[in-house]
Structure 1
Amino acid sequence: MIRIILLVLSSLIYTQITAQDDNLFNVNTIPLELRIKSNAVVRSDYTHINVIDYDKFVFTNKRIITVLNKEGDYKIGAFQHYDDNIKIQDLEVRIYNSLGKEIKKIKKNEFKDVSAVPGGTLYSDSRVKYLEYTPINYPYTVLFETEVVYNSTAFIPSWRPIEGFYISTENAEYKISNSSDISVKVKTSNFKDYNIKRLSEYHFIAKNLKSIEPESFSPDFSTYAPFLKAALTKFEMEGVKGVNNNWVDFGLWMNNNLINGTQELPQNVKNTIKQLTATANTDMEKAKIVYEYMQNKTRYVSVQVGIGGWKPMDAEDVDKLAYGDCKALTNYTQALLKEVGVTSYYTIIYGDNKLLDIDKYFSATQG
């Protein structure tokens, strides 16, 4: 009898959840205030991160988004990066018409699969699977579900309850479960001005967030929109174990594990750079000579494989091959500066057309 009751309750719960999802596929159930100045509406977005150990976490995401017009097509977000340390376990999309009727199903092996690197990169093991879909009519709704196992844990997925301009959010949820003995750090920004609740230390929920319209001369979106970032205090980056209690720990780890031992130069190069700077009177003059030497000798070529995405090539190899990426050329330049007695600092920055600061109050892999 008890078993029968449990089965009935389970059936009722499943039916209720299914009915709730079906309700979200119908465009007519979108609240009017979320349609205003919106090209798309996130009906539901559930993100769950299960931390297994310092070198493993499982990421799951179930996302329902309604695209209202052509401008909203790029808001779908149905893609997933992967490499040798990021394994996609599940990936599926279902498309629904405006009334909530399923019209298409796309399985994992039907996603487009391409290299996830820009021009100038010689080789990288980073790839991305993404949805390529041409809608027949607007509006339409997309259900995107994925499960991914990460064996490199330097980057914990962040959370933006409002994902950008002209997109509203009906329901969004972010949760971290930690079954390891590793501490998790979380920092939230700009939550107080929005309908976002903290249910527990690592569990947040947002409801009915209206879209934001860009304004002339306004600061960058990231400075005032709600944002959450997370990091492990112990992590693994492509096979290299790291410590991240604070910026001192993180800086020492980077210097000792990624930079140390990479700045040896051939003797002839040491002699050449000393001769070129022999008549320079100031460190600034020496730095200009070193920079011009590096520019004339090398070119930009990127190789992003494994820890090579963060660990620079040896300065000796850069000199021999006459190429390197941003970190390799930086490291090579620092080695040259050191040889002529000029103090410099290997520094991580954001390389983009937007001016963004590294958060000095939250140590993590940034930039």
Structure 2
Amino acid sequence: MVFYDGCSIFVLFIPYTFSYAELKAGTDDFSPINKLGEGGFGPVYKGMLSDARAVAVKQLSVASHQGKSQFVAEIATISAVQHRNLVKLYGCCIEGDKRLLVYEYLENNSLDQALFGNKTLFLDWSTRFEICLGVARGLTYLHEESRVRIVHRDVKASNILLDSDLVPKISDFGLAKLYDDKKTHISTRVAGTIGYLAPEYAMRGHLTEKADVFGFGVVALEIVSGRSNSDSSLEDDKVYLLEWAWQLHEDNRGLELVDPSLSTCNESEAKRVIDVALLCTQTSPNLRPPMSRVVAMLSGDIEVTPVTTKPGYLTDWKFSDSTTFLSADASTSNTDQSTQFSSSAGTTQLSDPNYTPVNVSASMLGEGR
């Protein structure tokens, strides 16, 4: 398969294809016992290949799959993108109307499960810091180092999986858009998760790699605090993690954000992560650093650029929880964005009703998801 990236021509090989019979046998005929979960595009099963590899098999629904040539092209692109901090795609199955994706199986579930789910794992500070660095390195590869530049579009804690050594691996870049280096991408197909969406992408469909940087900033704050970006069970000033983080920052009490369940914490590292996260979640994409610079700041190789301006989306917007955003009036008030809210794997996502890309939710690629 020949691919042109705007500068040169290179070849992507056809991805490895599994037979349907092999995947059917490896999942015990897609037994409910092996079902890991189900998202908007089909169920996911744990399976065992003939070579004894454990895998996560995503069975795409007939209604959601792309044409064969589009499907193969996307899988070839994803298969070529390999990094220590990205979930590995082993291959696919294309037989008749059947479309399946075969991913490596990750033993320790997703980051959101570890941080604020059933908490069967305890992540100490050093582990959290390494997870933060690993995610940053994975995004740096997607944005700047991969032969094909990729914008993930939905960076969030449930799309980060943990292997047996708690090494983080970013998943779900079946939703990613290939990014043209010479063009600004304006998309009306907003697909992401509320709480992690960059303002320019949520409001105008303006998509660049800086939208991923914003999502990373939110995830970094979740890693430090051990809580989700929105929690209505908390006191009013703590409900929204970004608002609380900025309030603490302005009061010079930033370290109060650190998860109280941690018995010890490297305060200089924690402060560095918080400061980088606040920089990544600036309103203007131009004020957010590229991910390679994020890695350098987290590693201590360069100083963290100070943040002086509270984001406009926190200072200018006032929210009232008395009126639901999903009311009939609200849902028809903005006709410029052809978007709708839908539930996938327990998370609320914005997506174009006519847009059905290959979507392998990371929350489906491990035990208990």
Q: TM-score range by the shorter chain?
A: under 0.3
Flag the structure with higher strand content: 1
TM-score (norm 2): 0.25
**Structure with the higher helix share, 1 or 2:** 2
- The higher radius of gyration belongs to 1
